[in-house]
Amino acid sequence: MVLTVALEEAVLHPDYPEISTKYIPGDGPGLTPIAKKLIDIHGDRLDIMKRTGNEYQVLSLTSPGPQGEPDVAKAEELARVCNDWIAAECKKDPKHFGAFCSLSMHRPEQAAKELRRAVKELGLVGAILNDWQSTGEDGNGILLFDTPDYDPFWKEVEALGVPVYFHPKVRSLQIEMLRIVAQ
């Protein structure tokens, strides 16, 4: 028997829909049908998995998550809260779900610490990173993760032996594709 594993299966924290719903097209206030599906982990998602032969999903917070938050303290809190939540959801059905942790990448040492906590204490299987960390008052500044400043983070990844999944941030083409799908 071959185990079918789906990676980077997007979820949306029900208490923080604003982290991603600005990128999900809708027709007014409230959660869109797509957002509602991203929040539902143990209902329709599990039913669809069973019908399609997908035995296991590695869940991840939908983009951009903490990396779209330019405020350091808010991004770090969002990562911690969302990692706690996604780990709790996976523990409800570990046969079907694991998860990547979300990280604020403002401070590499702190990101390494949260990664270690997420893997060692929460049981998450790795991390998901977007293209960059948003910074600045307007959110238009960026931090890239391939500079020597991030060596402490990458050393922790190596020490833990976990994968890091790079996900492109939502861009205008992706937004247009979501609009087409939502119609």
What one-character-per-residue DSSP string does 58-72 give? EEEEPSSGGGG--SH
Quick one: which H or E segment has residue 85? Answer: helix 72-91
Average pLDDT, the chain: 86
E strand or H helix at 82, and its extent?
Answer: helix 72-91
> What whole-number distance in Å separates Cα of residue 151 and Cα of residue 96?
34
Q: How confident is the model at residue 172 (pLDDT cuts 50, 70, 90)?
A: very low
Give 35's pLDDT tier (boundaries 50, 70, 90). Answer: confident
Band of pLDDT at residue 160, cut at 50, 70 and 90: very high
| 32-41, 103-112, 174-183, range with the lowest pLDDT | 174-183
Query: How does pLDDT run across 64-90, given as a tens digit for each residue?
Result: 889 889 999 999 999 999 999 999 999
d(CA 16, CA 128): 18
Domain 5-178 has CATH 3.30.420.40: no
List strand residue ranges (DSSP E) for 106-150, in order: 126-130, 133-135, 141-143
Q: What is the CA radius of gyration of the chain?
A: 16
